[in-house]
Amino acid sequence: MTDVAVIGAGPTGIHTAYLLAQAGLDVVLFEAQSRIGDRAICSGVVGDEAFARFDLPTDPILSEIKCIQAVSPGGKKLEYRTEGPLAQVIDKGEFNRSLAQRAVNAGAKLQLGCWVNSLAVEKHSVEIQYRPAEEAPASLRAQVAIITTGVNGSLNHSLGLAHPRQFLRAVQAEMSLPPNGHGNATRVFVGRGVAPGAFGWEIPLGNNRWRVGLMTEDNPDPYFVKLVQRVSPNTDISTLKIDRKGIAQAAVGRCVVDRVIAAGEAAGHIKTTTGGGIYYGLLSAELVADVVSRAFRTRNFSTRTLGEFERYWRSTFGNELIVGYFARKLAGHFSDNQIDRFFDAANASDLLVRLNGRLKFDWHHRALLATLRSLLTLPGGIGRG
């Protein structure tokens, strides 16, 4: 018997294990990969606020973002630039490994190469059935299990836990690009012809290396080919190592049953505007650790007690997820011509300057609502004919 079993060693699971081990609990962290950080597919953009709030390791940082350019279908630009960094671009694999070392130092035990097949909630424990690499199936009992398995929803499904409203499909590759006249700006490409229902990106890594990718509601492959040709016409796409990932959007359903909590991307706790999961995943870990630590003090692991997590996350960032989801769905209905008109109107009225107090890298709903009002009222905007 162990106190807590955490299933899935992404940032949410690792940070949860770290906080609970630091609180004096016996924690086992399961990871299906044989090495932490393998197959860590991510744009790697982490807001500067997160590094201070969660005391994140800085060694995995590759570059910093001070300028973001949104590019319309017609090539019009909206630019947001700051004196200090808005965000850092990280090596996600190294980032996860650094977090894992911190968790191990705090006392968490890693079980690598172990695929968890099932969870069975019993009266006095949760039974975890798992298969170590090239070994016979094994089991472990824990007082509490935390599911942090990302978009793999098999454990959620078996327990009737949260499932996404929708999946976006993302593709990305790292590539060398020639000087493009945009400096080190991170560029975001929008429009139905670029990525229906979402957007594409070009993120600087330093040393003329870039991450180029997109996410969309449709098959991303033809759009990715067009985006690569747009940013680097001479690149042979067959030479690129292309990563693919599903991105959960705005989960429906509960995150808690007796003795079990789903958190982070496994509970749909990712930014519905950008698909970024690190910041809200780390927030989820903090909330889980607080609820579970208090549950151990009372030895009560019921749905009612652990359900405090549900109330915490909804009050902390629930509005961000819902507003972001419906804002992105609304934007997906705009024609390319409407988007170009909005860019013209936004530039003419200095919209980004007027939004400056509401623009935060990881908190979007205030800026989104203000932008929606602008869409309807700006001279020449989408709502004006």
Structure confidence at residue 375 as a pLDDT band (50, 70, 90)? low
Give the other-Cβ count within 10 Å of 358's Cβ.
15
Strands of 77-81's sheet in order across: 77-81, 67-71, 186-189, 199-206, 209-216, 163-176, 243-252
The answer to which of 3-7, 225-229, 244-248, 380-384 has the lowest mean pLDDT is 380-384
**Claim to verify: residue 285 and residue 347 sit in the same structural domain:** no
Residue pLDDT, tens place only, 126-170 = 999 999 987 899 999 999 999 999 878 899 999 999 988 888 999
According to the model, what pLDDT value does residue 363 have?
79
Position 310 in a domain = yes
According to the model, what pLDDT value does residue 167 have?
87
Question: Is the predicted pLDDT of residue 179 greater than 90, yes or no?
Answer: no
Q: Which has the higher per-residue pLDDT, 29 or 80?
A: 29
**Claim to verify: residue 130 and residue 36 sit in the same structural domain:** yes
**Claim to verify: residue 31 and residue 100 sit in the same structural domain:** yes
Question: Is the predicted pLDDT of residue 380 greater than 70, yes or no?
Answer: no
Q: At what angle do helices 365-377 and 336-348 cross, to 10 degrees?
A: 100
The answer to which of 55-69, 242-256, 359-373 has the lowest mean pLDDT is 359-373
Report the b/e string of 131-149 with b at 16+ CB within 10 A. eeeeeeeeebebbbbbbbb
Report residue 168 as tokens.
């976006």
According to the model, what pLDDT value does residue 29 have?
98
Q: Tell me the β-bridge partners of 81.
A: 67
**Claim to verify: residue 17 and residue 121 sit in the same structural domain:** yes
Question: Is the predicted pLDDT of residue 205 greater than 50, yes or no?
Answer: yes
According to the model, what pLDDT value does residue 14 have?
98
Q: What is the mean pLDDT of the chain?
A: 90
**What percentage of the chain reaches a pLDDT higher than 70?**
93
DSSP-derived secondary structure for 329-351: HHHTTS-HHHHHHHHHHHHHTTH
Position 10 in a domain = yes
Residue pLDDT, tens place only, 251-301 = 889 999 999 999 999 999 998 888 888 999 999 999 999 999 999 999 999
According to the model, what pLDDT value does residue 184 have?
83
According to the model, what pLDDT value does residue 38 have?
85
Residue pLDDT, tens place only, 311-355 = 999 999 999 998 888 888 888 888 999 999 888 888 888 777 666
Q: Identify the domain containing residue 317 by its residue range.
A: 2-40+91-165+250-327
Position 49 in a domain = no
**Residue from 23, 15, 98, 9 nearest 54 by CA:** 15
- The pair phi, psi for residue 169, each rounded to 5°, is -115, 120
Q: Is 141 helix (H, G, I), strand (E, B) or coil?
A: strand
**Claim to verify: residue 108 and residue 144 sit in the same structural domain:** yes
333 within 8 A of 197, measured Cβ to Cβ? no
According to the model, what pLDDT value does residue 360 have?
77
345 within 8 A of 337, measured Cβ to Cβ? no
Structure confidence at residue 385 as a pLDDT band (50, 70, 90)? very low
Q: Alpha helix (H) ranges present in 113-166? A: 154-159
What's the rounded Cα separation, in Å, for the pair 204 and 269? 26
Give the other-Cβ count within 10 Å of 83's Cβ.
5
* Domains: count for the chain: 2
According to the model, what pLDDT value does residue 165 have?
83
**Claim to verify: residue 284 and residue 370 sit in the same structural domain:** no
